[in-house]
Amino acid sequence: MELTAFIIKAIVILVIFGLTLLIAMYSTYGERKVAGFIQDRLGPDRAGPWGLLQPLADAGKMFFKEDFIPAQANKWLFIAGPCLAMLTALMASAVIPFGSTLRYDGVEVAVQAVEANIGILYIFGVVSLGVYGLMIGGWASNNKFSLLGAIRAASQNISYEVAMGLSIVAILMISSSLSIGDIVAQQHGGNWNIWYQPLGFIIFLTCAFAECNRTPFDLPECETELVGGYHTEYSSMKLGFYLFAEYINMFVSSAVISALYFGGYNYPGMDWVYNQLTGAFGNVAGHNVATLLGTGVFFAKSLFGVFFYMWVRWTLPRFRYDQLMNLGWKGLIPLAILNIVITGLAVMFLQPALTAMLK
């Protein structure tokens, strides 16, 4: 019994991490393709059918480039920087509920690497560690431009984390749980948080963009005022790790957005589909098929989020740094606090009144 649960869990974890890596890998291809389509060109189409082998070609190129460590750099920290960025990006995906539960032999296992009941806190903790990746990378390069870039990146990430944390508080007030699994389960039946938290969603989305260092907030890297940003001195696969971490972050943050605001693995007509499937395949198999279907829906939502990131990148121009800080501190944080107050009042007065009325 224990062993079955363990094996299923191990498979689930492997599949989740494998898929996360695969999606991050192919979002580099997706980015180029989307960029091409939006700019009325074709994008990569040489390597393999429709250019599908392009990520492998890119990886091959990254591996064969000269792996360079500056003489004056702090060698170990220089290596640790990209690893840390990659690690924190991957760790965040551990608590995301990709589906409800799988049943086998009387065991029920959630499609989630870790069923932590402090999921959101964990994600925020891990994501905030990502700053160290950038900061250490910039500092260890022993290059003042890199250091300036790293400081910029760090201050940007920290500022937007505040607004992000505040925007999430309203959701926690509604759901009164810190577990992402619970929050997703509560959104069952079209009860998505986006309907209750449109302002919170916009704030969260904006902060997620800033956290992933994506356009219009891609100020950590810039050729105009700094030479290249915190990764000026990085080459070959170490630079690849930094870029890869960005794509993992993109996927993970859109997964978090779809879990928190778009009902995760819930989709309209879910109960009806569930009944049909259990009717057709029997209780256990039908349940598993329904779960996998939900997981597919979750991935579809998350991948649309990734596409949205790219769509925005080829639409909006970059912010200036002071504009970025103004938006973060003078725009988003007050708005997030306002959102908390409104949600608080609604939870305090409106919800009991509504429940009383519906009774």
Partner 1 sequence: MQLTNRSKQVSNKQMTLAERIYLPAIATGMAITIKHFFQKKVTIRYPEVKRYLGPVFRGRHVLKRDAEGRERCTACGLCAVACPAEAIQIVAEERKKGEEHLYREEKYAAIYEVNMLRCIFCGLCEEACPKQAVYLRHDEFVPVFTERDQVIWGKDLLVENMNNRYLRKAWTKEEAQAQDDAKVRGEIKEVEPRAIP
330 is an interface residue for partner 1 by CB under 8 A: no
Whole-number minimum distance, CB 75 to partner 1, in Å? 41
Contacting partner 1 (CB under 8 A), which of 36, 70, 165, 296?
A: 36
Q: Assess contact for 100 and 111: CB atoms under 8 A.
A: yes
Q: Label the pairing between strands 107-110 and 101-104.
A: antiparallel
312 is an interface residue for partner 1 by CB under 8 A: yes
314 is an interface residue for partner 1 by CB under 8 A: yes
311 is an interface residue for partner 1 by CB under 8 A: yes
45 is an interface residue for partner 1 by CB under 8 A: yes
- For residue 31, the cross-strand partners are none
**Size of residue set near partner 1 by CB under 8 A:** 15
Contacting partner 1 (CB under 8 A), which of 13, 21, 25, 38?
A: 38
- C-alpha of 221 from chain center: 20
Give the nearer residue to partner 1 in terms of CB position, either 36 or 228: 36
Contacting partner 1 (CB under 8 A), which of 2, 3, 41, 72?
A: 41
37 is an interface residue for partner 1 by CB under 8 A: yes
Give the nearer residue to partner 1 in terms of CB position, either 50 or 132: 50
Indicate if the alpha-carbon torsion angle 202, 257, 301, 269 is positive or negative: negative
Kindly report the number of other CB atoms within 10 A of residue 308's CB atom: 15
Q: What value does the CA radius of gyration of the chain take, rounded to a whole number of Å?
A: 22
The DSSP secondary structure of 56-120, one letter per residue, reads: HHHHHHHHHS-----TTS-HHHHHHHHHHHHHHHHHGGGG---SSEEEETTEEEESSS---TTHH
Give the nearer residue to partner 1 in terms of CB position, either 32 or 188: 32
Q: x-or-dash pattern for partner 1, window 176-205, by CB under 8 A?
A: --------------------------x---
Round to whole Å and give the CA distance between 81 and 150.
11
Contacting partner 1 (CB under 8 A), which of 176, 191, 275, 315?
A: 315
| Rounded alpha-carbon distances, angstroms, from residue 23 to 13, 29, 282, 348 | 15, 10, 32, 41
34 is an interface residue for partner 1 by CB under 8 A: yes
Whole-number minimum distance, CB 249 to partner 1, in Å? 21
Among 198, 251, 209, 354, residue whose Cα is nearest residue 16 = 251
Whole-number minimum distance, CB 42 to partner 1, in Å? 5
Whole-number minimum distance, CB 45 to partner 1, in Å? 7
For residue 253, the surrounding DSSP H or E stretch is helix 236-260
Whole-number minimum distance, CB 208 to partner 1, in Å? 15
124 is an interface residue for partner 1 by CB under 8 A: no
* Sole window of 31-39, 79-87, 175-183, 338-346 interacting with partner 1 (rule: CB under 8 A): 31-39
Contacting partner 1 (CB under 8 A), which of 11, 42, 56, 350?
A: 42
* Sole window of 10-18, 259-267, 313-321, 349-357 interacting with partner 1 (rule: CB under 8 A): 313-321
Whole-number minimum distance, CB 316 to partner 1, in Å? 7
Q: Assess contact for 180 and 120: CB atoms under 8 A.
A: yes
Q: Assess contact for 94 and 113: CB atoms under 8 A.
A: yes
Give the nearer residue to partner 1 in terms of CB position, either 296 or 331: 331
52 is an interface residue for partner 1 by CB under 8 A: no
| Rounded alpha-carbon distances, angstroms, from residue 131 to 49, 89, 101, 221, 242 | 38, 11, 34, 14, 12
Backbone angles phi, psi at 17, to 5 degrees: -70, -40
Given the rule CB under 8 A, which residues bind partner 1?
34, 36-42, 45, 202, 311-312, 314-316
